[in-house]
């Protein structure tokens, strides 16, 4: 299969747990640099040197100062920065011009329109669609995934929000052509920032089945 749906596991913090989860070889691992998150990595955090290079490092930021994002990207050798706030097109453009790859997040809820993504398209690598909440961060709940059936943009996207082994098969087939990956966090957890290896294994198994199921849509 040419284009498997990738796996991003977000909200990692504890070194021992990072090591456990890395054995499952997710495509991306996310670290949250937003101080108000329950999964905030903290001031003394560093990405373990043992993290395999094959796992892409993603730093999650919310309305952070441009210089701070740049500094943390350099310090932690981030492959991507995920912008979860109200970052403007100009902000994304200036950050991208420094060589940083960007994942821009959009909350999907009442009043959301796919047209909101259009002006960001030249400046980001991926979009991420999550369930809209008051404030910032994940909700652990799904939104109406059929909304994405109308997405035809040139920028592939991640799907997030309450995805787990029991519902991943419900992704509408007509929306998977532009689906780059799924972003999972709280549904895999024992406690905030601590993932259960058993749940990771079960989810990865179901994702493999989904990739087989959707092969003809993604060739």
**pLDDT for 136 beyond 70:** no
Question: Percent of the chain having pLDDT more than 70?
Answer: 96
**What would you measure as the largest C-alpha separation in the chain, in angstroms?**
46
pLDDT digits (tens, 9 = 90+) for 161-177: 999 999 999 998 888 88
Residue 19 to residue 203: CA distance in whole angstroms? 18
Active site residues: 10, 130
Q: Which is more confident, 81 or 138?
A: 81
CA distances from 126 to 49, 103, 158, 187 (A): 26, 5, 7, 22
**pLDDT for 2 beyond 70:** no
Instruction: Please provide residue 60's backbone torsions phi and psi, each rounded to the nearest 5 degrees.
Output: -100, 125
User: Checking DSSP bridges between strand 189-191 and strand 179-184, what pairing results, if any?
Assistant: unpaired
pLDDT digits (tens, 9 = 90+) for 81-92: 999 999 999 999
Mean pLDDT confidence for 186-193: 96
Q: CA neighbours within 13 Å on the CB side: how many for 150?
A: 7
**pLDDT for 1 beyond 50:** no
Q: Which residue has the tokens 């098969």?
A: 169
**pTM for this prediction:** 0.94
Helical residues (DSSP H) of the chain, grouped into ranges:
15-22, 66-75, 89-96, 197-213, 215-218
């Amino acid at each position: 299969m040419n284009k498997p749906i990738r796996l991003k596991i977000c909200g990692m913090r504890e070194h021992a747990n990072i090591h456990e989860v890395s054995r499952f070889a997710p495509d991306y691992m996310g670290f949250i640099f937003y101080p108000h998150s329950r999964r905030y990595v903290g001031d003394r955090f560093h990405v373990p040197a043992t993290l395999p290079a094959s796992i892409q490092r993603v730093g999650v930021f919310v309305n952070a100062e441009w210089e701070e994002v740049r500094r943390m990207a350099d310090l932690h050798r981030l492959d991507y920065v995920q912008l979860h706030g109200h970052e403007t097109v100009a902000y994304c453009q200036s950050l991208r011009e420094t060589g940083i790859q960007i994942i821009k997040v959009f909350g999907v809820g009442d009043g959301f329109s796919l047209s909101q993504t259009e002006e960001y398209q030249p400046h980001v690598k991926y979009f991420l669609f999550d369930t809209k909440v008051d404030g910032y961060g994940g909700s652990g709940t799904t939104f109406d995934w059929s909304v994405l059936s109308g997405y035809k943009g040139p920028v592939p996207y991640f799907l997030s929000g309450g995805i787990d082994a029991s519902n991943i098969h419900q992704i509408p087939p007509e929306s998977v052509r532009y689906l780059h990956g799924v972003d999972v966090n709280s549904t895999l957890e024992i406690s905030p920032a601590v993932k259960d290896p058993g749940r990771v294994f079960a989810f990865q198994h179901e994702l493999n089945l989904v990739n087989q199921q959707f092969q003809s849509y993604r060739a």
